[in-house]
Structures are given as structure tokens and as C-alpha cells.
Structure 1
């Protein structure tokens, strides 16, 4: 704790535990790159580099969005970060400042939220999306007091423009047990900024300019309203207006509905709500929101409720009611990190959504394994995303039997599938019953034996395959066989696959001309010759990750970047970065 001249006691505290997170790069039972590394004070800051003691989300950049097999969905003007993590502190305070210690590819913190643990949130700070920086930093927005008692902070991370994985070391919350009056809060902020300006000598740049008076005037003066030009859209035929309104996002539709009785009527047209993305509004979606949407959902086909309903904002019964009433036309349902889901909710989905083609349950870690039995009723399913769930092998195989059109299966980080032989069984089943599958993700979900690899290379229509951090058999020349048989591959992630050799890269270069992304991080055998062959032959390549490949030198990467400027080549090695 620390005092200031106004007599307030500022309490400084680091996170005491992690309550929820969207994804993590590390193993759920491990200690490297996991969410729990945010607990306590910084362990590596102010050092800059790739440190296992930090928190790292699973993805970065644009690469995971560039799938050619996943429906992109509807974008909103208001966008969330790509990931979030909720951290709890021991003592509730009125927040004044939040410091986020970034140690690698900093600048990816998008928003900071204060929560009350009951589903209510207040935005503390919002940061524009920007390119990551090659330095460690303490992300600390301008201090201001928030009239909201909290011991829960959500950090939204957006690595869309990050050059590599962003890493966070710790989170510090500064606040008071009593609320600081608004005028005192502004005064402290202005004085703090003034001290920084004086410290830098900037107050002397313009003679006669009173910077403190100017800052106070800016802080206390209301913004002048500007006259808006009038556009007589109401004169257009309703049919034309409906076409125009289909281009609007949800927030714009709601705003336009308040403009006039005519627009209020048109904006209720269910045709405008065939695709609804509520993920950007996760912090305010509740039962009333679902009821409001229900009145407009007669044509609903796409619904994204990812991140919604946390901490009791709405219940499983509320969701089940909505799905039973309005789910009969749904084709796509995305429910990433939805903690309200349970057996009742999945039963409602399976019985009320007969035309569902995509179901995304990524990150629903609390969903009991028995609930997944209901998936077997979804007979037209094409894209099933179950990363970081408790799905078990018998349940999965029985459910897949009814999905004759399955083309995409994502099972990354499913710990109940890490039992010996599980991935082999899944591969053999797919080979026998779904040989036309085009996208498969096994990331960190166990081991593949020779039998499993034999089945896997028989999936000749594969366009995307991620077997990163999976144990692979040391013999059998399987990667070369995979390249030879699966010649349509566009994405191949072989992260930490120690068995890959130059001969495999040469096979990839020879047989996979459409390859766009290749990850061979952590390989000891490949050399610059094999990588050069891939770069030369795979003309559509856009990403090559050779980090921690001990035989790839910095000079090789520098030469490649000059020769192949359209390829993003990643290399870090023992905190040495190119």
C-alpha cells in the first residue's frame, strides 16, 4: 500500500489466481506458457524474450483466420480481442490503475475490464489494434478511478498484428478501498501527466503556454456537438432500405432503429437477423438480450454467442429456451468459452437444430463429458470444433457415426484423448468412414503410433493438418508419405515433431505445391537445404516457422527473407530473435 497527499491509501496487488481463459499455448497440466503463470509478481520482466514462465495464447497474427475450409461468419464493427484471461485479486478495490507486464511482442493488450464476479463488467481501458513491439513494457493506461468495486480483471489480447506469440508475465492492480471523488480523480490524473511533461521539459517548448490550465480545460470542457448532415433515406422504398440495412452490423441496426418509427419498423425485420454475432457484446448479453433477439430470430441461421454468459450472466435454461424457440433454422452455432453450457444445453441443441452444420465448443472446459453424447443427433454436421473440452473417445466415435458429411474436425488440447491409442483409433475410424475429411487438428492431444500414422496418410483429401506437439513414431518415413499421399495440403503444422528430416521437406516441396503454412518449430534435424527447397517449390507459401531449429542460422533466414519477401519466416532460438 502507498499513501498520496489527499490521504487516500492505494493498494497494490498482483493476481492471486486465474479464473478463466480462452486459450493457452502450454499443456493444461504443464507449467510452461500457461495461464497460471500470471499469478504473482513478474518472474522475467524487464527482460525481453521468449520465456516459458509467462502466459502465451495459442495463436497470433492472421494465420489462424486464413483457413480455406472454415466459414468466416459475420464481422461486427465492435471486435473483441482474439483471446482473454480473467485474473482474481485478493482484496476488492475501486480500480485506479492496471499494469500488464509484457515480455514478448508487446502492445497486444486490447481492452481491460473490471468485473464483479456476477457477470457485470465495466470497461476500464480500450486500446487500438496496432503492430507488436520488439521490447518488454508495462502496459499501463492513464490512471483514472472507476466507481466499481472489483477484484476481477479481464485482459483482452489481440495478437492479430503480432509478429509472433505475445507473452505476458504478470498483472498488477492498483486501487483504493474507498472511492475517489471524480474531480479529485481528474485532478490526480492531470497532475500526474503534468509532472511527466515537466520532467521531459516539454512545458518550455512554447513560451507563454500554460500547459496545466490547458489540460484542465480539456478535461472539464464538454465536447461541442456537431451538426449532422441530413440524408433522406426514408424516402427510399422499403425494399431498397432492407437491402442497404443488410450491410449493417448489429450495433448500427440498433442505433438506426432509434432514428424514426419507420426505421424502427424496418429494423425489426427478421431477414436482417439471419446472421448474428454477439461475441463483441459478451459483457452485456443477458436474458433480456436473448428475448430481444428472439423477437427477430424467425430466420436466424448463424449465431455466435462465444464468451457470453460467464459468471451467471444468463443460465443454461435461458439458453435452452432460446434454442428451442429459435434454433430450428440454425446452420452455424459458435459457443467458444461459454461456461453456462451443460447437459441440458447440448440436449436442446441436438433436438432443436436439425440443420446444424457447424458447432464450435472450443474452450468449454467445464462441460461434462457425458453431455457430448447428444452430438450424435446432429446428422448434417460438417464442421465440429471441440478443442480444449472433456470429450472422450467412445463418445466421440459414436457421435461421429451419424455425421456423414463431416469435413472439419478440431480436437486440439483434448486431454481425455491423450490416453495411449486414442488418436490412433480416431485416425483409423476417419480413414474407414470419413476418408474425404479435409481439415483435422490434433494439436497437443496425445500420441500417434505407426498404425495411427498409416491411417492418417490415407486421408488423401486433407488440406489442413495440425499434429503439433503430438508424439510421433520415430520410424516409418511418415511425413514423406503424408506429403506424397495428401497432395492438396495447404496448412501443415509439425510443431515439435522431432522426426522431421530434410528428406521430408524435399517430399513436401515436391508433392505439395499449394502449401501456404508450414510449422516445423523445435526440430533438430532439418537444415537450410531442406527449407530452401520448400521455399523454392511451394510458390503459395506465406508462413514458415523454423524457431528453435538448431541447424537454421540467422544468416539463412536473412537470405530467405530477401529472396522470398512474400513469405513470413519466423525464427527465434534461445531468446535470439531475427
Structure 2
């Protein structure tokens, strides 16, 4: 007789079986696809027409260098290899961002096959049934981990209610040993709808340096290809390893394996229900959200456990972004009344989540929230931020990274969140008035990201407010802020003595001759990470000040300076024993011979030196 425990164990065995046979199934699928006859209609070859959305980029919002917009159109660089400004580059690479003071704790229960860290969505001219997708990678390839196709046209005025995202290909990150250019052409899955909207998801954690993408080519036909009659079909659901699909098919599987009759015949739950409540909760805490949703349908005992709000203290819905809509939020709402960490990043776009559904969810589940992740949440508007400010009074962390469609007036509501310790506004339209109000009232801030916030008119005024109000500030990202000067730096150095991380990359108005960098080094002895990327004026005296005063330094980026010599770098490396990352790309006095010598003498330091061909 079947027991609840045996059902639970069977789910585990099924998972193991799916994992064990996935490679074989993929090989079978490739064999099938290779035997397809040529379609009767002509194959179209299209380059991306437009870049619609993305999580981050290395470049500026007001230029084309190193931006995601370079993915539109024909290749600019390929087949050349190297570091070129005409390519698309994401903001981070490797694991360095996890090893600095601004690093955030990961969410638990992330499914093991969710590897994505960034994404970019591309529109093509004509919808086709995809036959191939080629990604032209020109520097440090290997970051693409998933390719998806959308059933909705990006140019449609009326989006269908049942938008589908289908995975064409996915794999775990793999190490590519060569930084040379390549055309990445994975074997993709056949889908049953035409598409002109393709999404790449990427993971750069195994890369030695920034990945650079040049173009994406979509091959496809107007009419759906038909497999030859003598081909044995394999159900694509068996091959697709997307965890989020199990939110839909998990219950169907259970119904097939364990009939209702068998469940009724079971007089007891065996010994499973004799376990302490806390132990059952601990066992279930290792399941993902779709598993909990499926398992809750098996019996009253497991329904009680799977719906216990204590199972949803930390809830990340980002891995299931394609499935999360108003209905899903309504379904989860009663389970999430105690949620403290909530990750809705990447969810809700193209009308999947409405403002009213989000507001209802927060009014029920927001009172205990300490951390709220909403990166790339393009459904958000001013009403949403008002609801957050009114209902999430205990909130300590808010991430609005790349929410670039939020209107400027919306950000003023953040000033009501007096307990904020972390605020990420990278690539948003926050304006100076709202930012000053936030700094004035949120004096507990420890981590602040204002990278690429182009609507702030005077960064010196903002920096002065930080120095006056944010005495606890530990990390600050001012990447590509357009007008901070030595006055703003002086205010930060004097008013925020606890700073451990400071990103001043691509800040063109800072000049070493004013003494601003030397003052930073003297006033901020706790610095562990300092990025002075592309500041041409950084010189030997700045490096020597860092060597003398910032001995805890772990990461330093001085890309692009012509005024730093090998001698000053040796002093730095001798003084800063914990230094692990040093980027000297495009430093004209630091050639490859010097890098090899420094690598030999300081083997624990990863010295980065990019190249072009």
C-alpha cells in the first residue's frame, strides 16, 4: 500500500532519474534534429533589429561604447578577438562581486538548474520558427547559459493574455579556456509557435574577464518544420530541464503515478506522520517552490506543512519569472504572510503582473519584509513605490536595479523607509531632489548604489548630503556619475569614515592633480575595494598613498591610466597583502612583460590585462 512517505521518496527518485538521463535524452534529440528534412520554405537569416531590455551593461546610458545596444544589427567586430568598445559588455564577471563588502547573501531554495545572472532581450524583424541561434562572442566567451523564445511579438499593441516563453537551449556554466572569438551555435529545441523575440540569459561567474558579444543571428522559417514520418518522437518536456515547468506538470505527474483510489485505500501515512512537526518542516525546507506546490496536493498532512508560512520566510520567485503572474501571486499570498526576504526580480513584465495584484500581495505580505528585490521590474509605477513605503515599514534592503521605466517622481516615496540599510538604484531615473530627501531621512544606510543614474544634476551636492547624514555608509557605487568633483570626494572622505568600498569608475570630472585620490587614501583606511576605472589622471603618487594607508585593500581597478609605473605597483603589492584583484588593462606603462613579472612575484593576485587584435 502506498504511503505519503513513499510518494515523497518517489518524487526524489524521479528527480534523480531525470538528471541522470538528461544527457542521453539530449543526444537523442540532437540525432532527431539532424535527421529533419529541409523545410519547404526558405530559411530566413536575421540580425537583431532592436535591444528591448537588459539587466546591466558596462557602458554609459548616453553613448554606444560597451553598451547592450551594440547587439542590434550586423557584427561590428567579429571575427576579430579582443576588447572593443563596439561590443555589448555586462557590468560584472567572475566572482569578484561576491567577494567585496557590498556582496549580498544568496536566497535559499534556488533550484540547482537556475544559473542566470544577467539577461538581454532582442527583437527581430519577422517572426519565424527558429532553426538556429548564433551568438557572436568576441572576447572571453562562455557566458550564455540559456536561450528563450517568446510567443508574443514585441511590436504588438495588444499583448495576448497567454504569453509563453519557451526554452530553446540551456546548460550549466562551462569554462572556456580561450578568450578568442567564436560563433556559439547550440542545438536548439523545435517550438510550435513563430517568434521574433529572443532572450539570452548569461552567467559570467567562470570567466576570467568581461565577456563581449557582438551580434545575435536568428535562423528560421515562416512555416513550421515537420519531422520526417520515420522519426521517433521524444516528448520535449522530458528533455527540458526548466524547473519552472514543474509548477504546471507536477500535479499531473502525481495523478498519473498515484491514483486517487490508491490514496483512499491508504489507511495511514505510515510512520511519516509520527515524525515531529519541526522535523517534517526541516525535510520540506529543502524543496523548491514548485515542489511544495505539487506536494501540497497529495494529502492533508503535507498540505498543512507545505502551506505553513514558515516555509516561505525567504522566497525567491526570480527563477520562475516566466510563470509568475497575478494568479501566481494570489495563489501564494496566504502562504507568505511571514515572508521576510522576497525576490520578484525579472517578474511581471509585459503585463504579467498588474499594479493592483502587486499592491494586494504587499498589503497582505509586506509587514514583515526586510528585503525586497525588484530588479528589472518594469510593471512598477509610482503607486507601487507608495504601497511599498506604506506597508513595508521594516524594510532594510530595496533593490530597484535597472527599473528604468519608473518615473522620477516615484522615488520620493523611498524617503519614508527610515530603516533602509541597502538601496540599489543602478540605472534608474532617480533625480536629485528625491535623492537628497532619501539621504536626509534614511540615515541608517550602509550600502548605496547610484551607478549610471544620469538624472542627478549635481553629484557634489548629493555627496555632501551623504557625508552629513550617512555616517554608517560602508559601500558606495558612483559608477559613471557624470559630474562629481574633488569637493564631493572631500565630503565623502570626511563624513563617511567607515567606507570599505567605493566605485568611481568612468567619472570623468575627477583629476588626480586636485589631490582627491590621495585624500581618499588618507581618510579611508578601511578601503577594501576601490575602482578608479578609466581615470587617465591616476598616477604613482596616488598608488603610493594607497600602499601607505589602505593596507586592507583587496580589489583595485586603474584601467586606462598612462601615469602609473611598475615601481609603484610593486610598492602596492608589497604593502597590501590581501590584494587579490588588480586591473591594469590599457595602462601604457604596464606591458605584458611587467604583468608576467608581477604574477611571478605575487602569485596570489589576479592581475588583469585585456588586449585587442
Q: For residue 543 of structure 1, report the CA deviation from its aligned partner.
A: 0.8
Quick one: structure 1 residues 416 and 262, their matched pair in 2 at CA, closer, same or farther if it must change by over 3 Å?
Answer: same
Q: Deviations over 1:257-292 (max 9, x none)?
A: 355543232111100101101111111111121112
- Provide the secondary structure at the position in 2 that maps to 1:239: helix
Q: For residue 426 of structure 1, report the CA deviation from its aligned partner.
A: 1.2
Q: For residue 343 of structure 1, report the CA deviation from its aligned partner.
A: 0.7
Kindly indicate whether residue 196 of structure 2 is the aligned counterpart of residue 128 of structure 1: no
Which residue number in structure 2 is paired with residue 566 of structure 1?
604
Kindly indicate whether residue 187 of structure 2 is the aligned counterpart of residue 142 of structure 1: yes
The answer for unaligned runs of 5 or more in structure 2 is: 1-35, 153-158, 240-252, 258-268
- Provide the secondary structure at the position in 1 that maps to 2:414: helix
Structure 2 distance, partners of 1:41, 1:236, is 62
Quick one: structure 1 residues 219 and 334, their matched pair in 2 at CA, closer, same or farther if it must change by over 3 Å?
Answer: closer
Which residue number in structure 2 is paired with residue 436 of structure 1?
472
Structure 2 distance, partners of 1:502, 1:257, is 64
Structure 2 distance, partners of 1:376, 1:457, is 24
Pick aligned residue for 1:177 from 222, 242, 255: 222
Map residues 28-47 of structure 1 onto 2, 5 A cutoff. 28-47=61-80
Structure 2 distance, partners of 1:265, 1:315, is 29
Q: Deviations over 1:472-496 (max 9, x none)?
A: 0342222122111101111111101
The answer for unaligned runs of 5 or more in structure 1 is: 188-215
Quick one: structure 1 residues 562 and 233, their matched pair in 2 at CA, closer, same or farther if it must change by over 3 Å?
Answer: farther
Higher relative contact order (CA 8 A, sep 6+): 2
Q: For residue 129 of structure 1, report the CA deviation from its aligned partner.
A: 0.6
Kindly indicate whether residue 377 of structure 2 is the aligned counterpart of residue 338 of structure 1: yes
Kindly indicate whether residue 163 of structure 2 is the aligned counterpart of residue 163 of structure 1: no
Q: For residue 47 of structure 1, report the CA deviation from its aligned partner.
A: 1.2
In the superposition, the TM-score normalised over structure 2's length comes to 0.83
Quick one: structure 1 residues 375 and 474, their matched pair in 2 at CA, closer, same or farther if it must change by over 3 Å?
Answer: same
Quick one: structure 1 residues 237 and 520, their matched pair in 2 at CA, closer, same or farther if it must change by over 3 Å?
Answer: same
Q: Deviations over 1:496-549 (max 9, x none)?
A: 122211111111112112211111111110111111122121111111100010
Structure 1 distance, partners of 2:391, 2:333, is 15
Kindly indicate whether residue 59 of structure 2 is the aligned counterpart of residue 26 of structure 1: yes
Q: For residue 243 of structure 1, report the CA deviation from its aligned partner.
A: 2.5
Q: Which range is displaced more, 375-384 or 530-539? A: 530-539
Q: For residue 379 of structure 1, report the CA deviation from its aligned partner.
A: 1.1
Structure 2 distance, partners of 1:494, 1:328, is 40
- Provide the secondary structure at the position in 2 that maps to 1:415: coil
Pick aligned residue for 1:532 from 570, 573, 576: 570
Give the aligned length. Answer: 536
Kindly indicate whether residue 491 of structure 2 is the aligned counterpart of residue 455 of structure 1: yes
Quick one: structure 1 residues 443 and 8, their matched pair in 2 at CA, closer, same or farther if it must change by over 3 Å?
Answer: same
Q: For residue 35 of structure 1, report the CA deviation from its aligned partner.
A: 1.3
Which residue number in structure 2 is paired with residue 543 of structure 1?
581
Structure 2 distance, partners of 1:351, 1:218, is 51
Q: For residue 234 of structure 1, report the CA deviation from its aligned partner.
A: 5.0
Q: Which range is displaced more, 34-43 or 152-161? A: 34-43
Which residue number in structure 1 is paired with residue 83 of structure 2?
50
Pick aligned residue for 2:128 from 81, 84, 93: 93
Give the root-mean-square deviation of aligned CA atoms.
Answer: 2.4
- Provide the secondary structure at the position in 1 that maps to 2:455: helix
Kindly indicate whether residue 95 of structure 2 is the aligned counterpart of residue 62 of structure 1: yes
- Provide the secondary structure at the position in 1 that maps to 2:441: coil
Quick one: structure 1 residues 541 and 251, their matched pair in 2 at CA, closer, same or farther if it must change by over 3 Å?
Answer: farther
Q: Work out whether residues 382 and 406 of structure 2, in 8 Å CA contact, stay in contact via their aligned partners in 1.
A: yes
Which residue number in structure 2 is paired with residue 14 of structure 1?
47
Structure 2 distance, partners of 1:164, 1:258, is 47
Which residue number in structure 2 is paired with residue 445 of structure 1?
481
- Provide the secondary structure at the position in 2 that maps to 1:475: helix
Quick one: structure 1 residues 178 and 475, their matched pair in 2 at CA, closer, same or farther if it must change by over 3 Å?
Answer: same
Kindly indicate whether residue 86 of structure 2 is the aligned counterpart of residue 81 of structure 1: no
Structure 2 distance, partners of 1:108, 1:249, is 25
Pick aligned residue for 2:351 from 309, 312, 315: 312
Q: Work out whether residues 94 and 178 of structure 1, in 8 Å CA contact, stay in contact via their aligned partners in 2.
A: yes
Q: Work out whether residues 98 and 141 of structure 1, in 8 Å CA contact, stay in contact via their aligned partners in 2.
A: yes
